[in-house]
Copies of this chain bind each other. A is one copy, B any other.
Amino acid sequence: MTVRNSVTPRAAGEVSNYDIETDVLVVGYGAAGASAAFEAAYAGAQVLVVDRAGGAGGASAMSGGEIYLGGGTPIQTACGYDDSPEAMAAFLKAALGAGADAAKIDEYSAGSVEHFHWLVDRGVPFKPTMWDAPTWVPPTDDGLMWLGENSWPFTELAAPAPRGHRPTANDFGGRLLMECLSTAAESAGAATLFDTYVSALIVADDGTVTGAVARRYGMELTIRARRGIVLTTGGFVDNDDMLAAHAPQLLGHTKVSAGTDDGSGIRMAQALGAAVRHMNAGQVGMSLIPGLAARGMVVNALGRRFVNEDTYPGRIGQHALYRQNMGGSWAGDDTAVWVIVDEHGFEDVPEPQRWGVQPTHVAETPAELESLTGLPAGALTAAIARYNEFAARGQDLDHHKSTRWLRPLTPPLAAIDVKAGVRPPSESGDRRGTGASVFTLGGLHTDLDGHVLTLDGKPIPGLFAAGRAANGLHGFGYISGTSLGDGTFFGRRAGTAAARRA
């Protein structure tokens, strides 16, 4: 057990002196924190943003920058897609899994076009062109992409429209997004303090959160927040004790974070009696090339398909990790996951989009591929025959892959082990791992204004949260862009609500 900072709250009566005073304290300077800081400052409050790192960014800056937006944005319209808040909400309620927050999804969908304009006004550029194929990150600067809306079962539940909005950038867009948002926050008047780790909250006798205790270069700092504190400290993927207690399926995989997602904000608020939701849930980025997967089959260690390969790739990953036992968190074998593709499908994906992925094995027959991969004799042969039968009839009866991607697989065949990893074209070296990169979705229970709620469902006075410190929109499902999306959207709400507190 790692020794961690105490999150036991400090009684306000025990704090004789405050090193710093502000109206609104924002803890954590990723996309949610920057959005909260901007709105709080814009509403006229004195704002201080602190981060344990040496600058703004957090996990947001390392991300692809996709933001889940819809309901009829100018980018959607320019690309020829109709959308409505209702269709967007219907998709999210299904895709974000059982237990998703329906009220937040409705609010988020209804406010999405406004939020798009707010982002544009903060300088975030979106190009009105469409990337129309399964991928993690398009190799272009196209501003719009599908995130599973056009895949089963969602096609049967909501009118499909692409809603993955991407800042125009040469590489991952998260850095650019953070530059725009932090510039906006600071231009609006928010002050910043870096290398500062907030470890506990200060609480008045009546339960109001009035400040925080922090550590900076080994010195303790006390910070008074006259109007409120917004926790935007991120999730807890960097805290293995918390993973073991809540989301053991995520242990041992590559952590998607800036190394600082230790759950501190979640724990500080829980120590005050805050409620949490869906602490078991996680996003699973699988080391596969979605374009290759869509053109072939994804199979488990029994040589069986388990999901439509043209769906949002994070859904393939969640199925693999939580349901197919990739990683071995359920008693039994840690399952392998293979992408099976033929030469035609492999070549159909341009080399730069393959991110260095090579076939692990190549064979002239399914039986030879079974032998090379160690998949059970007969299983892959049967799976390919069944898949090709579906392709011939133009209907995937088992997993409902779109006919667009359903084509018979003909030798030579390749098997790609997802545990062999992928790497950006710019990197070299071995990327072999568990096949998955993960972060957590569970967190504090908040209302539509970002108030952190108690076990009784009542706001804790003076305490707000947004981003992955909160559970946000999510059940146990995930879609790219909903983290930056709900973090910025409800971060703004939290900043405004904190600034307006008397």
Contact = CB atoms under 8 A, between A and B. Distances in A.
A267 B331 contact: no
Contacts of A477: 330-331
Interface string A273-293: 101111110000000000000
A249 B251 CA distance: 21
Nearest to A458: B8
A122 interface: no
Contact of A331 (B97, B270, B276): B97
Interface string A446-464: 0000000011111000000
Interface residues of A, number: 61
Contacts of A377: 397
Interface in A5-24: 6-9
Interface in A350-402: 376-379, 382, 386, 397-398
Interface stretch (A160-168, A240-248, A424-432): A240-248
Contacts of A277: 245-246
A245 B378 contact: no
A329 interface: yes
A476 interface: yes
A245 B278 contact: yes
A154 interface: yes
A75 interface: no
Contacts of A98: 244, 248-249, 251, 329-330
B397 A386 contact: no
Interface string A312-355: 00010001001111000111110000000000000000000000
A173 interface: no
Contacts of A94: 331
A246 B271 CA distance: 18
Contacts of A253: none
Contacts of A319: 330
Contacts of A398: 302, 376, 379
Given A331-B95, A378-B386, A8 B246 contact: no
- Identify the interface centre among A153, A280, A319, A475: most chain B CB within 10 Å of its CB: A280
A7 B455 contact: yes
Contact of A97 (B251, B330, B378, B382): B330
A500 interface: no
A458 to B, nearest CB: 8
A62 interface: no
A445 interface: yes
Interface in A432-491: 445, 454-458, 475-477
A248 B1 contact: no
Given A271-B273, A273-B273, A376-B398, A153 B333 contact: yes
Interface of A: 1, 4, 6-9, 94-95, 97-99, 152-154, 244-246, 248-249, 251, 267, 270-273, 275-280, 302, 304, 315, 319, 322-325, 329-333, 376-379, 382, 386, 397-398, 445, 454-458, 475-477
